[in-house]
Chains A and B, each alone.
Chain A
């Protein structure tokens, strides 16, 4: 054993003497584990229950998990109408690396993957042929891809590179090659604005301080940034319901506080409305007549520990850009990833999300759930809905992309 190896062993011994779990950790673990077990046993209905939306006649009644569980609206929830869907896993496609985010378009399924090779991290986009359910191409990238978008005859891969910072790579699906790289922007969202124009929207992180972040508009014809709209520190973008929506953080000192949902009119590139959210919101989705902002509301002093973190969702009226009602408590995570096939599709699960569920837009209840196995890191949007082919595509933890046929 070398001196260094001996020192590493001694390091562990010193850590063992000085680092021990705090007295409250056991309580937090069992509190969260109990909620998780209860929620896991109450398929999907919980989400609809928590949403507090209109219910219809039926036979099943929602019961709150425990008196110590999350609080909030506890409506009488009954069973949904018979569903028109028959979701089932129809293929598991090995992609040879960790899949992170997945999108559909241009006749293919596109998956950003991370290949860890002895400590080196290599990123690429894998093209899957939905006809054969096989990998058709692998496109290496210089940037670590966090987000994908498809539109205007291209695949847009946004992320960061060690050398160049934020960047979006444009991939041509005709030859599966990177044909342009746009520097200074990331997190692409594709959208067509009300005036008929077409744009890729992205975050331009800018320089310090983060207040200098801007919403960037990219012309897909020229791959150039044609306008930038000062908004502030942006954490997410959604395009839909007639506007571009930005989730903006308030940063005081080094603390991220409340967030705003900012409405930008794509016809004028101006901010036309703002809703202030008093909680930690993480995501935006526009569709099904609303803008959805899921997140966490902290009730108690021990923020971030799990105890006292209450999952909620806020609906924002797209016309007025105002919150439709108070934050609605949930009993599970609510991470929307698509609109179509009769509802809003969400990733659902208390701790390790694994279920994909439909919130039926007519009955306002969760009426379909499918479990395609452990999802890849939820932060990177591992699921996508393709209404045209009636399929869901899911990036799994274990180097696999799963196909779910809905009909």
Chain B
């Protein structure tokens, strides 16, 4: 099964905003979020006939966005190491983040989590997915998801300073 333009357009219409927003929560950068969401759609449309459950497009899209985000940060880590000059770019990214949502301490704190913890917290509490759904997307066990979420929330509490957030 390969999506017709109509089908693909419908899928895009239905899921594009969610994909960009998920990528934004994972990266904190609007332009990067759109690039990642765009990549995710292109990959999924190209592999549509290989999807075991084409009806579960949203699931595959979420998983692809999470994986692309992870790959992005992995590449970035290496490029940063090669070019110290990247540090000034990092600072610009931070500035951009500040401009986008200056009041949002929590969004900043999320970006400080390790990628997998961040993805688990975002999927569970921002995307309101169940433990099982989150585990499916992260390709891990429910127990591992609970562990990631628990540590992620603890780190967030430390960063945003809230025993009152218990």
Q: Do A and B come from one complex?
A: yes
Q: How far is the CB of A73 from chain B (nearest CB, A)?
A: 25
Taking a contact as CB atoms closer than 8 A, the residue among B37, B42, B126 that contacts A11 in the complex is B126
How far, in angstroms, from A302 to B25 measured CA to CA in the complex?
A: 24
B19 nearest in chain A by CB position = A21
Contacts A3-B162, A11-B25, A119-B114; A205 near B81 (Cβ below 8 A): yes
Query: Who on chain B is nearest to A377 by CB?
Result: B71
CB distance A15 to B25 under 8 Å?
A: yes
**Contact yes or no, B47 A210, CB < 8 A:** no
Residues of A near B151 (CB, < 8 A) are: 118-119
Taken residue by residue from 217 to 237, chain A's Cβ proximity to chain B (1 for < 8 Å, 0 otherwise) reads as: 000000000000000011100
- Considering the chains assembled together, what is the distance between the CA atoms of A36 and B106 in angstroms? 38
Most buried by B among A4, A30, A251: A4
Q: Are A15 and B82 in contact (CB under 8 A)?
A: no
Is the Cβ of B12 less than 8 Å from the Cβ of A29?
yes
Alpha-carbon separation in the docked complex, A321 to B45 (Å): 41
Expressed in whole angstroms, the Cα–Cα distance for A21 and B85 within the complex equals 30
Q: Which residues of A contact B8 (CB under 8 A)?
A: 30, 33
A11 and B104 within 8 A (CB): yes
The answer to whether B126 touches A160, judged by C-beta atoms less than 8 angstroms apart, is: no
Q: Give chain A's interface residue range (CB within 8 Å of chain B).
A: 35 or more
- Of all chain A residues, the one with the shortest Cβ separation from B64 is A352
Q: CB-CB < 8 A to B41: which residues of A?
A: 29, 33
| A40-B12 in contact (CB<8A) | no
A-contacting residues, B65-83, CB 8 Å:
71, 74-75, 77-78, 81-83
B39 at the interface (CB under 8 A from A): yes
Closest to B44 in A: A33
- Against A, the Cβ 8 Å flags (1 = close, 0 = not) of B125-166 are 111100000000000000010011001010011001010111
A208 located at the interface, meaning its Cβ lies under 8 Å from any Cβ of chain B in the complex = yes
**Would you give the shortest CB distance from A300 to chain B, in whole angstroms?**
15
Partner of B166, one of A2, A19, A144, A351: A2
Question: Looking at chain B, what size class is its interface with the partner chain?
Answer: 35 or more
CA of A26 to CA of B34 in the docked complex: distance in angstroms? 11
Flag if B82 contacts A350 (CB, 8 Å): no
* Residues of the A chain whose Cβ atoms lie less than 8 Å from the Cβ of B97: none
A96: interface (CB < 8 Å)? no
Q: A32-B42, A352-B43 are in contact. Are A25 and B16 (CB under 8 A)?
A: yes
Contact B125 A233 (CB under 8 A): no
Interface hits, A334-381 → B, CB 8 Å? 350-352, 377, 379
Judge whether B34 and A351 touch: CB under 8 Å. Answer: no
Asked if B82 contacts A8 (CB within 8 A), the reply is: no
- Are B5 and A25 within 8 A (Cβ)? no
Task: List A384-407 residues whose CB lies under 8 Å from chain B.
Answer: none
Q: A25-B34, A208-B84 are in contact. Are A40 and B46 (CB under 8 A)?
A: yes
Which one, A5, A22, A351, contacts B39 given CB within 8 A? A351
Q: Residues of B with Cβ closer than 8 Å to A?
A: 2, 5, 8-9, 12, 16-17, 20-21, 24-25, 30, 33-35, 37-39, 41-43, 45-47, 71, 74-75, 77-78, 81-85, 87-89, 92, 101, 104, 106-107, 114, 116-117, 121-122, 125-128, 144, 147-148, 151, 153, 156-157, 160, 162, 164-166
12 contacts between A and B (CB under 8 A): A4-B157, A11-B126, A12-B21, A12-B25, A16-B17, A18-B101, A20-B17, A25-B20, A26-B9, A209-B85, A233-B82, A254-B89
